[in-house]
Amino acid sequence: MRTAGIDIGSRTIELVILDGNDIIVNLQNDSGFDPMAQASSLLKGMPYDRIMATGYGRHLFELSFDSPTVTEIKAYAVGAKRLLPETRSILDIGGQDSKAIAINEDGRVSRFEMNDRCAAGTGKFLEIMALTLGYELDTFGIEALKATGDITINSLCTVFAESEVTSLLARGAQRQDIALGLHHSVVRRAAGMMKRVSIEEPILFAGGVARNPCIRQLLEKAIDRKITVPEGPQMVGALGAALLAMDK
């Protein structure tokens, strides 16, 4: 049996299709202004018998495609256990939310905390700040690691932080130093969430921000723990949904 999992996020849509335990499809697309049209395009001609949805757009997908759904928290827990069976903690930083999840030895969620009310500390925050500083998002973390000075960004709100960055540039601050300060502000939020859910190792880091080398490095220092970033960290939720579709 072939089962599919689709994770419809605010920024991107991920699709994983399993043939038994083997991943045969692993795709990503932008959510755009019409996520259901994008999801339909992604699924066109795809070979699957069952599908399960997760993410922000899961309820709309359920109505449009008559599909069962699962919460992001459960989908990420199941996906993480598949990728790293010993996983006890998960950090996901996506486009517009972040979450810290603690799971027990059986893979069940024991505690979680989620930030979905504010863009600060998310991929969107980094995207806006990279643009403000004139960097490409893919190289933002690399440039931040080249900093020679340490600047503290005090504003927690994305709008105010952008204004603070503009003021720092006007005063002659170095772009790389500002970039490092912005990365520190994201990590402070993420580390705080993780500590509140009582992190244990092994720790799996998921979501698009997991690809940022500066965030990874600063996070390990902040929590004094080693973290694991799987190949394709954005696919964890979709993988979990595909695995749960088997049970349905």
Q: Are residues 103 and 50 in the same domain?
A: no
Helix (H, G, I), strand (E, B) or coil at 1: coil
Q: In whole angstroms, give the CA distance from residue 128 to residue 198.
A: 31
Q: How confident is the model at residue 243 (pLDDT cuts 50, 70, 90)?
A: very high
What confidence tens digit (pLDDT) does each residue in 130-168 have? Answer: 999 999 999 999 999 999 998 999 887 888 899 999 999
Taking the alpha carbons at both ends of the chain, their separation in whole angstroms is: 12
**Residue 27, both tokens:** 């795709």
Q: Are residues 62 and 105 in the same domain?
A: no
What confidence tens digit (pLDDT) does each residue in 82-95 have? Answer: 999 999 999 999 88
Q: Which residue has the higher pLDDT, 10 or 143?
A: 143
Q: Are residues 15 and 101 in the same domain?
A: no
Q: What is the CATH number of the domain that holds 19?
A: 3.30.420.40
Count of domains in the chain? Answer: 2
Q: Are residues 99 and 165 in the same domain?
A: yes
What confidence tens digit (pLDDT) does each residue in 18-36 have? Answer: 999 899 999 999 999 999 9
Q: Average pLDDT over the chain, rounded to whole?
A: 94
Q: Are residues 100 and 45 in the same domain?
A: no
Name the residue range of residue 211's domain: 87-229
**Residue 121, both tokens:** 């500390």
What confidence tens digit (pLDDT) does each residue in 46-104 have? Answer: 999 999 999 999 999 999 999 999 999 999 999 999 999 999 999 999 888 899 999 99
What confidence tens digit (pLDDT) does each residue in 179-216 have? Answer: 999 999 999 999 999 999 998 999 999 999 999 999 99
Name beta bridge partners: 26. 16
The pTM assigned to this predicted structure is: 0.93
Report the pLDDT value the prediction gives residue 87, as an integer from 0 to 100: 97
Q: Are residues 42 and 11 in the same domain?
A: yes
Q: Are residues 193 and 137 in the same domain?
A: yes
Contacts of 15 by beta carbon, 8 Å cutoff, 6+ apart: 4, 5, 6, 7, 25, 26, 27, 28, 29, 42, 43, 46, 238
Q: Are residues 6 and 112 in the same domain?
A: no
**Residue 186, both tokens:** 């994201």
Q: Are residues 217 and 177 in the same domain?
A: yes
Q: Are residues 104 and 66 in the same domain?
A: no
With residue 119 as reference, give the H or E element that holds it: none
